[in-house]
Structure 1
Amino acid sequence: MATTGEFLRDYGVEIRGNGQRRWPDEVKALIVAETLKPGATVNAVAARYGLRANHLSEWRGRARDGRLVLSAVEYDSLCFAPVVMSDGGGAHMPAASGEAVTPEAKLCASIEIAIGQVTVRLGEETRAGRIAEIVRAIGALA
């Protein structure tokens, strides 16, 4: 049976001589995702990996803020989300605030992803790969 250190090294965790650990973001994301499963608790998941619960809670906060992208969960069935697209001309489109946007309004190339009360706004410089990561992460939480 592998020791905790061997187990963690297999996942790419760097363990220094003084016992400090350097966790790759991919591993952090997997551990945070475990805390989001029904019935899971931060304390139980933290104990399984030899972490302090407050340290894991910090990672969860990073994920909430978009600074740590969680992996997409594999689903057996497809899940669709409504998408509204506009080329900027023609019909009036409702804005997130409920106000109508007219064709004369200043357009800015941005993407807005709204789920419940949370809205993520991405600028025109956002790479397609990054958008896909964010959509997968949000889909895993929904």
Structure 2
Amino acid sequence: MSAHMPSDRSFQLLEVVPGRMESSPAVGRRRWPDETKARIVEETLAPNANVSAIARRYGMAPSQVFGWRRKAIANGQVGRREAPTGDGEAVGGVIEVVIAGATLRVGHEVGEAHLRRVLRAVRSA
């Protein structure tokens, strides 16, 4: 169904002004200072921390906090924290990784940096 056309076939001039849509928030993107981001990320790395609850407390989407946290961990700015055990020692266990037919068994005492070097060596071999 076509729109109604005026009988005099006149043109209408429309003025378009770029701006925000009516349904979008009146406030633009927030700019978080690096210190604030770091503090929020550190808070989420605590054992048993609820990232979604922390994000709600700061009035932001949990996906934003997860993104900040992922970048901070990837850049080596922060490290993951392990939940403390009752006796003060790390939880035991072995992780088994199979790469190109080679099996690598890693205990909890192996540091992340050392494990990365070993994985790189196995992959390049």
TM-score clears 0.5: no
Determine which structure has more spread, i.e. the larger CA radius of gyration.
Answer: 2
Normalised TM-score (structure 2)? 0.41
Between 1 and 2, higher relative CO (CA 8 Å, sep ≥ 6) is seen in 1
